Amino acid sequence: MQAYSDYAVQILLHLHAYQGEQQSSTTIAEAVGMTYRTFTRLAFLMKHRGLLVSVQGRGGGYMLGRPADEISFYDVFTAVEGEPWINQYLRESRQRTNSEKTRSKVGVFLHTIQDRVITEMGNISIIEFE
C-alpha cells in the first residue's frame, strides 16, 4: 500500500501540471491511480491545511491552494499523516512539561535527529518530486 503522503504529493503535482485549471475529483483520482474514496479523504485533509482549494457546483473541482514551489514535503506529510515521530519517546516527551522532561544523552540525541528530520522535510519543495 502506498503512503498517504505519496498519494498527496502526486495529487498536488497533478494539479501543478494543470496550472490553475480546475480538475474534478474523479479526474485526479484516476490520473494518480487511487480510489475516489482515498482521494476525497486526502483532499479533505489538504484543503483544511490550505494546500488545496475546492470550487463547488457544476464545473467545480480542485486547484492548488498556493504555488507548488511554496509547498514543502513537511506541509504535505503533516496534513495527511500527522507529525513525523522517529521514536515513541519523543512523542511522549513532547507532551510533558519542561520540568518533567528528562534530558538524558540518548534523549538529547533523539531530539536532535527529530529536529533534523523536520528541517529536511521542510526544506524540500514538492516540485523536487516531479
The count of domains in the chain is: 1
Q: Look at residues 5, 27, 16 and name the one whose alpha carbon lies nearest to residue 81.
A: 5
CA dihedral 81, 85, 87, 93 (to 10 degrees): -120
The string of pLDDT tens digits covering residues 7-26 is 999 999 999 999 878 999 99
Helix pair angle (4-17, 73-80), 10° resolution: 130
State how far Cα 46 lies from the chain centre: 7
Longest Cα pair distance anywhere in the chain, in angstroms?
Answer: 59
Q: What pLDDT, on a 0 to 100 scale, did the predictor assign at position 94?
A: 62
Lowest mean pLDDT among 39-53, 68-82, 93-107, 115-129: 93-107
Residues of the domain holding 119: 4-129
Task: For residue 117, give the CATH number of its domain.
Answer: 1.10.10.10
pLDDT (tens digit per residue) in 43-94:
999 999 999 999 888 878 999 999 999 999 999 999 999 988 887 777 666 6
At 103 the three-state DSSP class reads coil
pTM of the entire predicted model: 0.86
User: What is the Cα–Cα distance from 122 to 114, expressed in whole angstroms?
Assistant: 12
